[in-house]
């Protein structure tokens, strides 16, 4: 079974449904709220496990009820938690405000995610060395990402970096990355021109190709652009009714990692991830946990 190690963040999400994003100093009445387990690392680990991969998580939670729920959520999805440590800080938290059209904005409080350090990789070294793919994001300290990437590269594992949220790139880390995944905002913050459509996404992927051998720019409802030495292309979005875009990027990255770990070629893996993300945005939060790889296959077959 394809093996993936995710070194990354775990956040407890509180999602508020509002009429729109409030202006500075404004208070708006919301219509509903719900909580769920998230964090880019946790979300991507769960997404990859739902695609049939054997996934291990390396992370840190607090010794609080939120930490218990975060661990239980990973285990329920089949993600290994042996290398998730309980640290001294409170668990990470994310506050999300979701608009009726499906767009959202979020603020994260890192909490225990910042307790993660290079020593946590020691116990996980064997798992990283045996993995097909190491999956990283930007919600944990740079030093941990760099140390994990070095271990994976030394073992011959493929390194995927979802550079989200955007922050100044660490040159030493990018030299170890095989696949870089960014959205429109992150592409611009890494130096590309604004991404406003699929054509500009393709230009951004090309411009950022000095950062990694493979660059993927997700442009939401405009599609996905791909650039590598062997392949340059783009995929249109699937025509689905958007319920919420929250979590779509993580579903894309998790599915991409799963298919690359399974041996798919780049175009096939991106097409699969694109369809998986389409299912997520068109499914209510409470029903997403039931989605599996066979649902992605049915969508691809239906629109072939």
Q: What is the pLDDT of residues 229-245, one digit of tens each?
A: 999 999 998 888 888 88
Domain 3-23+30-177+238-302 in CATH 1.10.10.10: no
DSSP codes, 98-113? E-TTS-EEEEEE-GGG
Catalytic sites, residue numbers = 250
On whether the CB atoms of residues 20 and 39 are closer than 8 A, the answer is: no
Average pLDDT over residues 29-49: 95
pLDDT digits (tens, 9 = 90+) for 145-184: 999 999 999 999 999 999 999 899 899 999 999 999 999 9
Q: Is the pTM of this model over 0.85?
A: yes
Give the three-class secondary structure for 274.
helix
Per-residue confidence (pLDDT) for residue 113, from 0 to 100? 97
| Strands across the sheet containing 32-38 | 32-38, 11-17, 92-98, 104-109
* Pair 233, 197: CB distance under 8 Å: no
Q: What pLDDT was estimated at residue 2?
A: 58
* Residue whose structure tokens are 């077959």: 301
């Amino acid at each position: 079974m394809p093996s993936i190690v995710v070194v990354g963040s775990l956040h407890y999400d509180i999602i508020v449904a509002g009429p729109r994003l409030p202006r500075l100093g404004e208070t708006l009445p919301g219509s509903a709220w719900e909580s769920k387990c998230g964090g880019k690392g946790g979300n991507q680990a769960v997404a990859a496990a739902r695609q049939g991969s054997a996934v291990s998580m390396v992370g840190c939670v607090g010794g609080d009820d939120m930490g218990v729920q975060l661990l239980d959520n990973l285990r329920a999805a089949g993600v290994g938690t042996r290398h998730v440590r309980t640290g001294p800080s409170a668990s990470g938290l994310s506050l999300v405000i979701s608009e009726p059209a499906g767009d959202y904005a979020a603020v994260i409080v890192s909490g225990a995610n910042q307790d993660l350090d290079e020593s946590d990789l020691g116990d996980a070294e064997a798992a990283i060395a045996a993995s097909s793919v190491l999956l990283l994001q930007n919600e944990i300290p740079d030093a941990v990402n760099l140390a994990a990437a070095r271990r994976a590269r030394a073992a011959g594992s493929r390194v995927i970096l979802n550079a989200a949220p955007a922050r100044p790139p660490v040159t030493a880390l990018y030299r170890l990355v095989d696949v870089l995944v960014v959205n429109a905002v992150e592409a611009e913050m890494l130096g590309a021109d604004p991404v406003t459509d699929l054509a500009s996404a393709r230009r951004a992927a090309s411009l950022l190709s000095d950062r990694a051998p493979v660059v993927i720019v997700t442009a939401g409802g405009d599609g996905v652009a791909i650039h590598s030495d062997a392949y340059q292309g783009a995929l249109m979005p699937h025509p689905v009714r958007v319920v919420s875009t929250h979590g779509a990027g993580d579903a894309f990255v998790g599915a991409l990692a799963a298919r690359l770990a399974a041996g798919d070629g780049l175009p096939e893996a991106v097409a699969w991830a694109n369809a998986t993300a389409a299912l997520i945005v068109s499914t209510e939060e409470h029903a997403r946990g039931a989605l599996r790889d066979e649902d992605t296959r049915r969508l691809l077959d239906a629109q072939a």
